[in-house]
Amino acid sequence: MKPAPFDYVRPASIAEACAILSEAGGGATVIAGGQTLMPLLNLRMSQPFILVDINGIAELKGVSRAGGATRIGPATRQAEALRDATLARQLPALVTALGHVGHYQTRNRGTVGGSIALGEPAAEMPATAVALGAEIEIASVRGRRSVKAEEFYLGPYMTVLEPDELVTGITYPDWPEGHVVLFREVAQRPGDFALVGMVGALALEGGSIARAGIAWFGMGPVPVRARQAEAALLGTGLGDIDADAVAALAVADTAPFDDHHASAEYRRTVGKRIFARTLREALDIRSVA
């Protein structure tokens, strides 16, 4: 099939893009990488009146540092983010997760902000934003606002974004130098959406966990923060961590579902195992548990 007819515009600024979205009255759709949108257009599952191409807006691209945080422009290509030295140094968990997003070919076009704004519950980037405490910057003709990543998602492919709003940046607060990265996912094939996945970071201080941020993907209708596991880890010495007990707490926060790929019970069982294994390997506490 071919897309339904639509008008195409390529604004040169955020203000121009927001004006177009406002005037469209909900009939416009933003395109950056198009890795999800183009198939939807071809199948006529998405039929916008106007396609707003934001690739010409320089303000929406690149990586920058400011005020103890790292900011990523939403139109930054995933492949570019993977090669960025600042992200490798400041956000190794994000770079690790990015390496599992789609395939080499799709990462050349796909954007960091596109994945985050889409809200696919089994995708790596939304969960990474939640785990690392990111904030989503949003603009419209009505003004600008910032939303915590864990408050951004309402359900599968549902976010707090209004039809006239545009994601303009994702800001990740700094984590201490040398923090520990947690990442693991189980998928049917490399590049597929995860059946079960976890991502996060742990900061150590004096042999204990001083800060924890962990989230699941593929374990509920939105990225799920492992709050009970985080709380159990905080202040705990490495020699006192019971990886299996913490994994059970982490899974208790999830709401997995049955689908044609896997059952909810499978996701819980596998989730608990990969969480415990990842925690042991990351903290080198194999003998504990």
pLDDT in tens, 225-248: 999 999 999 999 999 999 999 999
Which residues, 6+ apart, have CB-to-CB distance to 185 below 8 Å?
Answer: 100, 124, 194, 196, 197, 198, 217, 218, 274
% of the chain surpassing 70 pLDDT: 98
Which residues, 6+ apart, have CB-to-CB distance to 80 below 8 Å?
Answer: none
Q: What is the mean pLDDT of residues 143-166?
A: 97
3-state DSSP of the chain: CCCCCCEEECCCCHHHHHHHHHHHCCCEEEECCCCCHHHHHHCCCCCCCEEEECCCCHHHCCEEEECCEEEECCCCEHHHHHHCHHHHHHCHHHHHHHCCCCCHHHHCCCEHHHHHHHCCCCCHHHHHHHHCCCEEEEEECCEEEEEEHHHHEEECCEECCCCCCEEEEEEEECCCCCCEEEEEEECCCCCCCCCEEEEEEEEEECCEEEEEEEEEECCCCCCEECHHHHHHHECCEHHHCCHHHHHHHHHHCCCCCCCCCCCHHHHHHHHHHHHHHHHHHHHCCCCCC
Whether residue 287 is predicted with pLDDT greater than 70 in this model: the reply is no
pLDDT band for position 285 (50/70/90)? low
pLDDT band for position 178 (50/70/90)? very high
Question: What pLDDT is recorded for position 81?
Answer: 98
Q: What is the mean pLDDT of residues 94-105?
A: 95
Whether residue 288 is predicted with pLDDT greater than 60 in this model: the reply is no
Question: What pLDDT is recorded for position 43?
Answer: 84
% of the chain surpassing 90 pLDDT: 89
Which domains occur in the chain, in start order?
7-53 (3.30.43.10), 58-173 (3.30.465.10), 180-283 (3.30.390.50)
Token pair for residue 256?
Answer: 């997995």
Q: What is the mean pLDDT of residues 82-110?
A: 96
Least confident of 90-99, 140-149, 187-196: 187-196
Q: What is the mean pLDDT of residues 205-210?
A: 95
Q: What is the mean pLDDT of residues 72-80?
A: 98
Q: How far apart are CA 218 and CA 229, in angstroms?
A: 17
Q: What is the mean pLDDT of residues 183-210?
A: 95
Question: What pLDDT is recorded for position 83?
Answer: 97
pTM over cut 0.75: yes
List, for residues 52-62, the tens digit of each pLDDT value: 999 999 999 99
